[in-house]
Amino acid sequence: MEPSEAERTILDVERVRRSTRHALNPIWYPNIAFGLFFAGTAAVAFLGLGDTPALVYWVLGGLLTIGLVVRYYARVESELGVISPTIDASTLVLLALIAGVVAANVLAEGDASAYAPTYVGAAGTVAMGLVLRDRVELAAGVAIALVATAVALLSPEMPGAWANLGLGLSLLVAGLVGRDGA
Amino acid sequence: MTHPALRLDDTVHQRVRLGILAVLSEASRADFGYLRDALELTDGNLSRHIAVLEDAGLVKVEKGYAGKRPRTWVQATRAGRAALKAELAALQELMARVEGGGGAKVRAARWEGGAR
């Protein structure tokens, strides 16, 4: 066998694997769903509706968003006729991301409580981009890190709301770009 | 150390069978119809290659239903995953024997939008 033939074979295998991976991980959908959710948290904060409506939004909106994403992924698997591995790398990244955001919220104090979870979100998004080998996701992670840095440096009023707005818009744009490319 | 070409497994190396194992390496299982469409094969052709892989213990086939829809699920066994990995390693080694053996193209192909 010639090395050029070996290369062609590897390229074919990688193409098939990438296409299956992307079919099973339509990451644009959670990007749009979570993008809208986080942009919504910012809107609730800017409107000054108070702590209780904000808490209700976070809990109900968060659960609804997760539910929509889970349902969409299940529908994609059913329509395709392919079942993802129960625990794959992207699931582990997602679980680590959720744990990291919760930990950052609990541990960070003062202004850091606004941007620390956003940095964790950026790291998680970059990790997801690496796992899925998705350049749009990587770019979204970098954009989220820039948002966190801007909030840390500029210390605006309501830093948490600004950080969430930047996070939400970054995810939303990544989702729309990814959907067009899907 | 044997030449990497001698480590290529004829059962795995065949183009369609490599494609089947490549799809299954990214999923816990795949339906016959998905494999047929993804690899652009006819039913008969795919059946024949799945049977070869099944006989070699590299895939497992199960029939069942998803709702009312009949499904034929194909799943890579542990041996099947290991065989794909060994095959790709042998191919990489073959390429590495030639200077600048296209590693950059392969790395790019692993990314979305990379070499087609």
On whether any CB of chain B is under 8 Å from the CB of A87, the answer is: no
**pLDDT category, B103, cuts 50, 70, 90?**
low
Over residues A16-30, the pLDDT tens digits come to 998 898 889 899 999
Nearest to B26 among A6, A10, A24 (CB): A24
Q: Which residues touch A156 (CB under 8 Å, ≥6 apart)?
A: A162
pLDDT at A148: 95
**Cβ–Cβ below 8 Å for A84 and B116:** no
pLDDT at B101 over 70: no
pLDDT at B71 over 50: yes
pLDDT at B1: 62
Nearest Cα residue in chain A from B116 = A15
As a residue count, chain B comes to: 116
**Cβ–Cβ below 8 Å for B28 and A80:** no
Lowest mean pLDDT among A3-12, A135-144, A162-171: A3-12
Instruction: Describe the crossing of helices B15-24 and B78-96 by its angle, rounded to 10 degrees.
Output: 120
pLDDT at A175 over 50: yes
pLDDT at A139: 97
**Cβ–Cβ below 8 Å for B94 and A19:** no
pLDDT at B72 over 70: yes
Read off the pLDDT of each residue in A62-71 and give the average, rounded to a whole number.
94
pLDDT at A33 over 60: yes
- What ipTM score was computed for the predicted complex, to two decimals? 0.78
**pLDDT category, B115, cuts 50, 70, 90?**
very low
**How many C-beta neighbours within 10 Å does residue A124 have?**
21
Q: List chain B domain ranges.
A: 4-109
**pLDDT category, A117, cuts 50, 70, 90?**
very high
Nearest Cα residue in chain B from A77 = B30
Window 40-79 of B: residues touching A by CB (8 A cutoff) are 66, 71, 73
pLDDT at A143: 97
Separation of alpha carbons B32 and A44, rounded Å? 48
Q: List chain A domain ranges.
A: 25-181
- Got the DSSP string for A160-177? HHHHHHHHHHHHHHHHHH
* Interface residue of A4, A5, A8, A20 to substitute, partner B, most B CBs within 10 Å: A20
Over residues B84-98, the pLDDT tens digits come to 999 999 888 888 876
Q: How far apart are the first and last CA of chain A?
A: 35
* Structural tokens at position B40: 């652009």
pLDDT at A29: 96
* Structural tokens at position B92: 């990489």
On whether any CB of chain B is under 8 Å from the CB of A81, the answer is: yes
**pLDDT category, B116, cuts 50, 70, 90?**
very low
pLDDT at B6: 73
Strand B69-76, strand B29-31: pairing: antiparallel
Separation of alpha carbons A147 and A141, rounded Å? 10
On whether any CB of chain A is under 8 Å from the CB of B108, the answer is: no
Q: Which residue has the higher pLDDT, B80 or A8?
A: B80
A133: which chain B residues are within 8 Å (Cβ-Cβ)?
110-112
**Cβ–Cβ below 8 Å for A1 and B5:** yes
pLDDT at B114: 44
Read off the pLDDT of each residue in A73-95 and give the average, rounded to a whole number.
89
pLDDT at B20: 96
What is the distance in angstroms between the Cα of B37 and the nearest Cα belonging to chain A?
10
Separation of alpha carbons B111 and B116, rounded Å? 10
Q: What is the mean pLDDT of chain A?
A: 91
Strand A82-83, strand B69-76: pairing: unpaired
Task: Determine the residue type at B76.
Answer: A
pLDDT at B61: 97
Read off the pLDDT of each residue in A82-92 and give the average, rounded to a whole number.
86
Nearest Cα residue in chain A from B40 = A16
**Cβ–Cβ below 8 Å for B101 and A7:** yes
**Cβ–Cβ below 8 Å for A16 and B39:** yes
pLDDT at A130 over 60: yes
Nearest to B111 among A3, A10, A133 (CB): A133
Confirm if A79 and B67 have CB atoms less than 8 A apart. no
CATH class of the domain defined by B4-109: mainly alpha
Residue B58's nearest CA partner among B9, B5, B6, B12 is B12
On whether any CB of chain A is under 8 Å from the CB of B30, the answer is: yes
